[in-house]
Structures are given as structure tokens and as C-alpha cells.
Amino acid sequence: MIESDSVRGWGDYRDGVIRVHTTLVQVEARCTLAHEIVHHEHRDDILGYCGVGWLDTRLERQVHAAAARRLIIVPELADALLWSDDPNEIAEQLVVDTRTLYTRVIDLERVEHDDVYRRLGRSKRRALDDLHAFATSRLPAPRAGE
């Protein structure tokens, strides 16, 4: 990984090198690095982008979902939901940005969702439902073809 001021956005992966912007705080750098590692593993600098907007957007969504899955595990998500109902506080406890938190919550598989429910107990289950609804309203909905 290289820190660079010439990176457009938060980071990129080109020519086998991950670059992150020098101005990122720890949480942003951690999420960006995880995202770019997924690109590296998929060899997206060679195989990934095709120049068709909706296909490239789909690829970015898939990569971000994979990175979020790695950064946020179910037991830690449940613990954070027990601690707070505020998305910013939950993200801070999990050491991720809110976009990564929202992506992970939206991407929970049924078995993971049920596991979080079980860990939360009856009195706190609504916290996950509320966070899911909030996340859905904050992340842009996929367009046709995505």
C-alpha cells in the first residue's frame, strides 16, 4: 500500500499497487484498504472494469459488500447494537465508516440476520430493523441492470 496525494477519491488499485489518499483518517483508510484488497484479489485492474457504467457500478457494489463482510462480523455487530442505536456510534465502535456499516447491514444473509436477532434478545431486535431501514434510506438504490 502506498499513500498518495494523487489518488482520485479515497483509494485505487492499479498495476498491482493499492494507493490510498494521504488525508484519510484511520477509519477511512481501513475501509478503503479492505475495499482495494478485494479489488486486488479479484484482479480488477486487469479483469474488472469494462467502461459500461452500470456494470462498473455493480462491480463496485459487490466489492464494497465483500469488504464490509470482512470488516464487520456478526457477533461484533450485535454487541454494537446492544451498546447503541445511533449509526454513527455503532460505526465508531466497529471502526468502520457509516457507508460500510450500512452496506453490511443491508447485505446480511438470512442466517446472519437471525443470529443477530438471537444475540440481541427480544428487547433489542428493533435496533437491527431500525438500522436496516435507516441504511436502506441512506444508500442509493441500484438502478435497472445493477
Q: Is the pLDDT of residue 44 over 70?
A: no
The per-residue pLDDT for 133 is 92
Q: What is the pTM of this model?
A: 0.84
* Least confident interval from 4-8, 55-59, 81-85, 86-90: 55-59
Higher pLDDT, 51 or 23: 23
Q: Average pLDDT of 91-119? A: 95
pLDDT band at 93 (very low <50, low <70, confident <90, very high): very high
Give the number of C-alpha atoms closer than 13 A to the C-alpha of residue 43, restricted to the C-beta side. 2
Tell me the backbone φ, ψ of residue 74, rounded to 5 degrees: -55, -50
